[in-house]
Amino acid sequence: MTSGGAATALSDAAANARASRTRLMLEAPIAPTLAKLAAPNVIAMFVQAAQSIAEAYFASLLGVTALAGLALVFPLVMLTQMLSAGAIGGAISASIARALGAADVGRAATLTLAAWIIAAGLAVIMAVLVALFGTQFFMMLGGGNETVAAATTYALVFFPGCAAIWLCNASLSVIRGTGNMQMPALLLLLVSIISIPLSGGFSLGWGPLPALGMAGLPLGVVLAFTVGAFVAIGYIVMGRTGLSFRGAIGRLNLGMFGDILRVGTLAAINTVLTTVTIIMMTGLVGRYGEGALAGYGLGARLEFLMIPVIFGIGAAMTAMVGANIGAGRTDRALRVAWTGSFAAAGIVGGIGLLLAVFPDLWLGMFLDPSNTLALDAGRSYFRLVAPFYAFFGLGLALYFASQGAGSMVWPVISSLSRMAVALVGALILTTYTGMGVNGIFAAIGCAMLAYGMIIALAIRRSGWRKEKP
């Protein structure tokens, strides 16, 4: 067989596999199919969570100031991951899945090109904004000079390199949109395996690597995602997704960008609202000192780690819901949404209840018993917030399902409600009850309850059959 014939055979096989995955999402039993699609993602997300845990551990070895600095920069890092993999990434997966559900393979290929352009553009915008305003932002959150310096050092390495994260996550979102969850999961495993020793090595000076301190933590992450971006883009371009790019550039138009950005913008607003909520809470907690900030930062980091766990299920939900919406099967799409969201709520809620009772299972990994202020703050956070993790999991899973449906109004409304409850509740409880930092944590828990219940009740009522409440 000639090289051209071999390439054609490979392309045909990939196309047949893609078509088979689409049929699976449209016709196979929901629960086992969702479990099959979600399992690789969940495993990969747990490993990614290990990477974030390792980063916090390496920071703790650098001292409480480094840990507090990580807490300051954490909302912006979380925003990058949530936008690239969740908001915009989910919109990319949903647009690809809807195109394939409608049997329009050419449109799916052209949407891929649009996805790469959008990812690169947003990466540049984020890098410029952080370079211009990052230090002022950290000062606004109430960090001391040394803490702000640590956060700035981290940011000035992470954000110039975040294009690798954006392009990697955009490419993996394309692959997930075709129904292939195994390859993205394996690649994320590879990225995490590379990232952990590099972050530790560059920050602490392992072996021949220089001890760069805070600058070394994000350097390992950026280098690992650079490898991931090259592999993921190569996988798509070589035709392994079953998408042909012949004539794709000629089909590229504003409508293709609009297909992604229409959902992605609302999803991004939702993500920004979540991040703003954490930023406001960080600022309020910062008034109670470096120890309280470090303890809260560890609590908030675990909340962030819940997101990848939910994302593991949510990515499968986005693809399945999108394919069924594209095929005009709204009722099946809703059954997918409820099945996945209750599973996510059960998993995250179980973790929350465990940590509410035994908070030191998490805190003890990072804090020495002598760090009493940080430990007390972290324990209070988990006892007051962790019991509400199930509602957070429910709401976030339904957010991913809504991306697949292309209906993001209620997720945005629920996030606005979460922000309002958290801010107003924190101000009332700290001002009028004397609860101090515990008042802030109680408000965060109530906000999670509102977030999950509002979006669940709204979807129960409207079922994506109309976009406005």
- Yes or no: say if 346 and 390 are a contact pair by the CB < 8 Å rule: yes
- One DSSP character per residue, 427-442 reads HHHHHHS--THHHHHH
Distance CA 327, CA 348 (A): 31
pLDDT the model gives residue 172:
95
Would you list the domain boundaries of the chain?
Answer: 40-462
CA distances from 334 to 38, 455, 466 (A): 17, 13, 13
**Main-chain dihedrals φ then ψ at residue 207, nearest 5 degrees:** 55, -130
> What would the two tokens of residue 107 be?
């449109």
Question: In the chain, what are the helix, strand and coil shares in percent, each to the nearest 5?
Answer: 85, 0, 15
CA distances from 426 to 82, 137, 251, 423 (A): 25, 21, 51, 5
Confidence at 389, pLDDT banded by 50, 70, 90: very high
What are 149-178's pLDDT values in tens digits? 999 999 999 999 999 999 999 999 999 888
Shortest CA distance to 186 belongs to which of 199, 172, 200, 174?
172
> What would the two tokens of residue 382 be?
């988990």
Share of the chain above pLDDT 90, in %: 43
> What would the two tokens of residue 377 be?
């703050």
Give the global pTM: 0.77
Confidence at 469, pLDDT banded by 50, 70, 90: very low
pLDDT the model gives residue 4:
53
pLDDT the model gives residue 425:
95
- One DSSP character per residue, 309-332 reads HHHHHHHHHHHHHHHHHHTT-HHH
pLDDT the model gives residue 463:
72
Q: Comparing 52-66, 207-221, 413-427, which segment has the lowest mean pLDDT?
A: 52-66
What are 309-368's pLDDT values in tens digits? 787 788 888 888 988 888 888 889 999 999 999 999 999 999 999 999 999 888 888 887
Other residues' Cβ atoms within 10 Å of the Cβ of residue 39: 16
Confidence at 467, pLDDT banded by 50, 70, 90: very low
Shortest CA distance to 458 belongs to which of 424, 409, 391, 388?
409
- One DSSP character per residue, 380-421 reads HHHHHHGGGHHHHHHHHHHHHHHHHHT--HHHHHHHHHHHHH
> What would the two tokens of residue 364 be?
């003890």
What are 175-193's pLDDT values in tens digits? 988 888 889 989 988 998 8
- Yes or no: say if 249 and 113 are a contact pair by the CB < 8 Å rule: yes
- Yes or no: say if 82 and 271 are a contact pair by the CB < 8 Å rule: yes
**Residue 68 zone, left/alpha/beta (φ > 0; ψ -120 to 50; rest):** alpha
pLDDT the model gives residue 300:
78
pLDDT the model gives residue 404:
82
- In sign, the C-alpha dihedral spanning 453, 454, 455, 461 is positive
Shortest CA distance to 85 belongs to which of 393, 333, 400, 322?
400
Residue 266, judged by CB atoms within 10 A of its CB (0-12, 13-18, 19+), counts as buried
Rounded to 5°, the CA angle 279-285-286 comes to 85
Distance CA 100, CA 94 (A): 10
Q: Which residues contact 356 (CB under 8 A, 6 or more apart)?
A: 382, 383, 386, 387
What are 74-108's pLDDT values in tens digits? 888 888 988 898 789 888 988 998 888 888 889 99
Q: pLDDT higher for 205 or 282? A: 205
Distance CA 50, CA 1 (A): 45
> What would the two tokens of residue 321 be?
């819901």
- Yes or no: say if 384 and 442 are a contact pair by the CB < 8 Å rule: yes
pLDDT the model gives residue 466:
47
pLDDT the model gives residue 468:
39
The alpha carbon of residue 362 and the mean position of all alpha carbons in its chain are separated, in whole angstroms, by 21
Within 13 Å, how many C-alpha atoms sit on residue 144's CB side?
12
What are 26-47's pLDDT values in tens digits? 888 888 888 888 888 777 777 7
